[in-house]
Each structure stands twice: as structure tokens, then as C-alpha cells.
């Protein structure tokens, strides 16, 4: 009796398959690509990551389309669904996600693929539009509250010695209103640290620059005003 039940259950897993419409699949795949591309342009335009946003955003379209294809195939078979769970428990994806914003956009991209793969076109489009609207409103609100002297500051040196981080922070705190460290990279070829700083005036900014070079004239210093690009 138990063998019969097991056999029937195995046959159910193997034979329970949903028919996939080729036309619907192609339509949803195109929608996924277009939506992911729109997400890419939103991220490049409104993102605040200090890394190269254009290069990172190039992954959105293939990630969204791949997720959509996987979900479309998996939903057609319960056996494939169980197999996917087992496969994901073995495969580990390791990516250098250094800023939370990058992870948020990856989740949005995956959600797009999940929605279209599950054939929930209307819900996916409405959800995507609301997310983008919230991103734009939050970014515009943050921009309006930012002070005009907000700058991205990147300090780096191309040698094996580490940056004198304590001395750099001391100089920044003395010559700016506010200092927020965003990123620190240290390796054998190059050491780099990035900040967002607020300064009172151009003269204070020039003084800050001179004091940084007094610490080490081999430093590479980059100031970037990223608050007036919208």
C-alpha cells in the first residue's frame, strides 16, 4: 500500500505540468527587459552609490530576464520547483555588494522577473510604478533638504602603505561642517576612502584641500558635486 502511494505521488510530480504559451512567454520576456531597462536608467540617474552606477546597472536586464525564465519554467512543474530548492541550497552566489542601495535595486530587479514569470503582469507594472514613484519623491525630497555645499570626497594613494585614516578624519572634522564616511577599500595596489562632506564656503574647501596635501603630497584627492545633476 505504501509503495503504491509513493508511486502515485512520484507520477503526480512528474506528470503535473502546466502548458506554457510561447506567445505569452515572449511578451512577458520583452516586458521584463523593458522594465529592467527603465530601472537601470532610474538607478543611474537617481542612485547615490559612489561606485560606477552605469556598469553595475548593466546587470539589471539579464538578471530580470533570467529570473523570469526560471520562474516560468519552474511554475510549470512541481518536481522542478522542488529541484530548484535543492539546487539553490547547493549553489552559493557571492557578489561584492558594498552599499545597501545596490542590494535594494537588485531585489527590485528580481521582483520584476518573479512577477512577469508568474504572469502577474498588471500587479508587477503597478508595483514597479509605485516603487519608482517613491524613489523619485524620496530622492527629490532629500535633494531639496541638502545644502548646496555637499560634496563627495575621495582620497586614495597607489602604494602598499595604508591611509592615515585618523589624521584624515581629524583634518576633515576641523575643516567641514559634517563628515560621513561612505566607503573604505584597502588592498595591495591601492587604498581608497570616500566621504560625503558639508563645507561652509569655497575658502574652507580650499583650506581643507591644502591640509590634506600637507598630510601626504602623494595623495589623490577628488571632489565631486553630485547634488546638482537633476
Out of 94, 127, 145, a domain closes at 145
Asked whether the beta carbons of 80 and 59 are under 8 A apart, the reply is no
CATH code for the domain in which residue 160 is found: 3.30.70.260
Residue 1 within a domain: no
Number of domains in the chain: 2
Asked whether the beta carbons of 32 and 112 are under 8 A apart, the reply is yes
* Domain with 154 in it: 150-224
**For every one of its 230 residues, what pLDDT tens digit does the chain have, with 9 covering 90 and above?**
555 555 555 555 455 555 678 888 899 999 999 999 999 999 888 877 766 778 888 989 999 998 898 888 787 665 556 556 555 554 555 555 567 788 888 899 999 998 998 889 999 999 999 999 988 888 776 555 544 567 888 888 876 677 778 888 888 888 888 888 888 887 777 788 888 888 777 788 888 888 888 887 778 888 876 554 43
Answer yes or no: do 123 and 176 share one domain. Answer: no
Asked whether the beta carbons of 47 and 101 are under 8 A apart, the reply is yes
Rounded-to-10 torsion of CA 192, 196, 197, 203: 70
Answer yes or no: do 52 and 65 share one domain. Answer: yes
Paired strand residues for 224: 152
Quickly list DSSP for 22-90: HHHHHHHHHHHHHHHHHHHHHHHHH---SS-HHHHHTTHHHHHHHHHHHHHHHTTBHHHHHHHHHHHHH
Out of 145, 171, 186, a domain closes at 145
Paired strand residues for 84: none
Determine how β-strand 150-157 pairs with β-strand 191-198: antiparallel
Determine the pLDDT at residue 157. Answer: 80
Q: What angle do CA 127, 128, 129 make, to 5 degrees?
A: 95
Determine the pLDDT at residue 147. Answer: 47
Contacts of 44 (CB under 8 A, 6+ apart): 53, 54, 57
Q: What burial class does residue 171 get, using C-beta atoms within 10 Å of its C-beta: 0-12 exposed, 13-18 middle, 19+ buried?
A: buried
- Give the ranges where 75-201 is alpha helix by DSSP (H): 78-90, 100-117, 121-145, 165-174
Which helix (H) or strand (E) segment is 208 a member of? helix 202-215
Amino acid at each position: 500500500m505504501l509503495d503504491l502511494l509513493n508511486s502515485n505521488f512520484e507520477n503526480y510530480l512528474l506528470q503535473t505540468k502546466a502548458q506554457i504559451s510561447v506567445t505569452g512567454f515572449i511578451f512577458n520576456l520583452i516586458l521584463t527587459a523593458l522594465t529592467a531597462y527603465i530601472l537601470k536608467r532610474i538607478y543611474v540617474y537617481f542612485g547615490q552609490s559612489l561606485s560606477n552606477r552605469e556598469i553595475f546597472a548593466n546587470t539589471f536586464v539579464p538578471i530580470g530576464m533570467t529570473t523570469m525564465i526560471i520562474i516560468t519554467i519552474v511554475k510549470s512543474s512541481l518536481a522542478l520547483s522542488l529541484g530548484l530548492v535543492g539546487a539553490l541550497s547547493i549553489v552559493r552566489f557571492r557578489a561584492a555588494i558594498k552599499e545597501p542601495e545596490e542590494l535594494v535595486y537588485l531585489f527590485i530587479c528580481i521582483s520584476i522577473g518573479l512577477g512577469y514569470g508568474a504572469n502577474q503582469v498588471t500587479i508587477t507594472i503597478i508595483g514597479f510604478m509605485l516603487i519608482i514613484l517613491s524613489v523619485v519623491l524620496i530622492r527629490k525630497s532629500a535633494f531639496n533638504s541638502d545644502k548646496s555645499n555637499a560634496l563627495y570626497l575621495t582620497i586614495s594613494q597607489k602604494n602598499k602603505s595604508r591611509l592615515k585614516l585618523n589624521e584624515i578624519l581629524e583634518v576633515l572634522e576641523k575643516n567641514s561642517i559634517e563628515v560621513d564616511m561612505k566607503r573604505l577599500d584597502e588592498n595591495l595596489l591601492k587604498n581608497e576612502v570616500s566621504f560625503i562632506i558639508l563645507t561652509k564656503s569655497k575658502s574652507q574647501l580650499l583650506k581643507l584641500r591644502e591640509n590634506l596635501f600637507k598630510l601626504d603630497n602623494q595623495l589623490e584627492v577628488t571632489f565631486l558635486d553630485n547634488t546638482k545633476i537633476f
